[in-house]
């Protein structure tokens, strides 16, 4: 498998997971003067389906849902009905940059399917950890094939920590954690770092990864700046629980406007400020993904 696998995750809702997933995906797909364009797949693991609305547009997403080509029908077919389903059949072109940017969409039905999977497997005497393992093994198998077709695969995860999120985190080389630098969000970040299992799927290497925090919605207020200072200092120590990207994403009315209007033409259209910030983040994420087996992991 050659694709870099990246999860965007945080237990806390509304911190910018989807905005960053989509902006990162589009930035990587577009490329820049000093970064070749990449073939990117976004896998939407959130029943809210925000990334799917954004990337497919409302009409196309409705068609994909009607045709049963979303992540939830794949999971149901593969686990509950035991069919030999392929996630590749659920890959769709995004509305913008359709030759480089693709999505496995989600639908609100995912919430019901997740519950169905747990009931189905628990009736077969599987506990919650095993449910997570079943989903994780299934996604890992699919990534073998998809990883040959894409340069980068991005999982946009739901708020909270579900079996699906845990599975995505296990399979990712980089876990990007959007965090607003305020007191409450920082508490949420620590609890995310402490409750997730950071061990990867590969039993031979048993790599323990660390989350990478991206400060989002950053204001120049005293509180945000103080929290940022504290978070940066916490991420610098030997006993750190997370790393931090140098890039900071400002609290921006333009980003908010774009990210709140999910059914535009699929194009982000940031002004140069927004585009530059996501370009800087994309560069850092690729750097981390490239170094992952050396400086950014700790062998147990």
Ligand X SMILES: Nc1ncnc2c1ncn2[C@@H]1O[C@H](COP(=O)(O)OP(=O)(O)OP(=O)(O)O)[C@@H](O)[C@H]1O
Minimal distance in Å, beta carbon 268 to ligand X? 12
C-alpha distances in Å from residue 24, one per residue of 36, 162, 176, 270, 294: 14, 23, 11, 12, 24
Report 34-53 residues binding Mg ion (CB under 5 A): 50
Residue 249 binds ligand X, judged by CB under 6 A:
yes
Which residue, among 137, 229, 241, 232, has the nearest Cα to 195 in the 3D structure?
A: 241
Q: Choose between 157 and 201: whose C-beta lies nearer to ligand X.
A: 157
Minimal distance in Å, beta carbon 17 to ligand X? 4
Q: Choose between 100 and 217: whose C-beta lies nearer to ligand X.
A: 217
Q: Choose between 95 and 217: whose C-beta lies nearer to ligand X.
A: 217
Which residue, among 239, 237, 238, 181, has the nearest Cα to 213 in the 3D structure?
A: 181
CB 72 within 8 A of CB 116: no
Q: Applying CB under 6 A, which part among 36-44, 99-107, 143-151, 255-263 lies near ligand X?
A: 255-263
C-alpha distances in Å from residue 33, one per residue of 36, 53, 139, 159, 268: 7, 29, 34, 35, 19
Task: Name the token pair of 116.
Answer: 């169905």
Burial of 43 (0-12, 13-18, 19+ CB in 10 A): buried
Binding mask 33-62 toward ligand X (x if CB under 6 A, else -) reads -------------x-x-x------------
What number of chain residues touch ligand X (CB under 6 A)? 20
Residue 252 binds ligand X, judged by CB under 6 A:
yes
Residue 260 binds ligand X, judged by CB under 6 A:
yes
Binding mask 165-184 toward Mg ion (x if CB under 5 A, else -) reads --------------------
Task: Name the token pair of 26.
Answer: 């589009």
């Amino acid at each position: 498998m050659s694709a870099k696998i990246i999860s965007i995750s945080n237990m806390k809702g509304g911190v910018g997971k989807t905005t960053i997933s989509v902006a990162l995906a589009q930035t990587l797909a577009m490329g820049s003067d000093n970064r070749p364009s990449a073939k990117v797949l976004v896998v939407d693991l959130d029943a809210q389906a925000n990334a799917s609305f954004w990337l497919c547009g409302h009409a196309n997403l409705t068609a994909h849902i009607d045709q049963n080509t979303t992540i939830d029908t794949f999971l149901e077919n593969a686990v509950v009905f035991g069919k030999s389903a392929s996630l590749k059949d659920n890959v769709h072109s995004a509305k913008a940059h359709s030759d480089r940017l693709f999505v496995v969409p989600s639908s609100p039905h995912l919430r019901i399917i997740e519950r169905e999977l747990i009931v189905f497997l628990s009736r077969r005497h599987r506990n919650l950890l095993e449910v997570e393992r079943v989903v994780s093994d299934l996604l890992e198998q699919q990534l073998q094939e998809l990883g040959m077709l894409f340069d980068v695969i991005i999982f946009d995860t739901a708020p909270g920590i579900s079996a699906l999120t845990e599975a995505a985190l296990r399979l990712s080389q980089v876990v990007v954690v959007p965090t607003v630098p305020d007191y409450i969000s920082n508490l949420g970040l620590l609890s995310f770092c402490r409750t997730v299992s950071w061990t990867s799927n590969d039993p031979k290497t048993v790599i323990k990864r660390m989350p990478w925090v991206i400060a989002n919605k950053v204001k120049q207020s005293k509180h945000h700046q103080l929290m940022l200072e504290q978070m940066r200092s916490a991420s610098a120590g030997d006993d750190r629980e997370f790393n931090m990207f140098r890039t900071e994403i400002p609290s921006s009315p333009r980003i908010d406007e774009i990210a709140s209007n999910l059914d535009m033409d699929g194009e982000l259209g940031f002004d140069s400020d927004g585009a530059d910030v996501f370009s800087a983040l994309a560069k850092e994420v690729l750097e981390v993904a490239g170094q992952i087996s050396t400086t950014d992991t700790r062998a147990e």
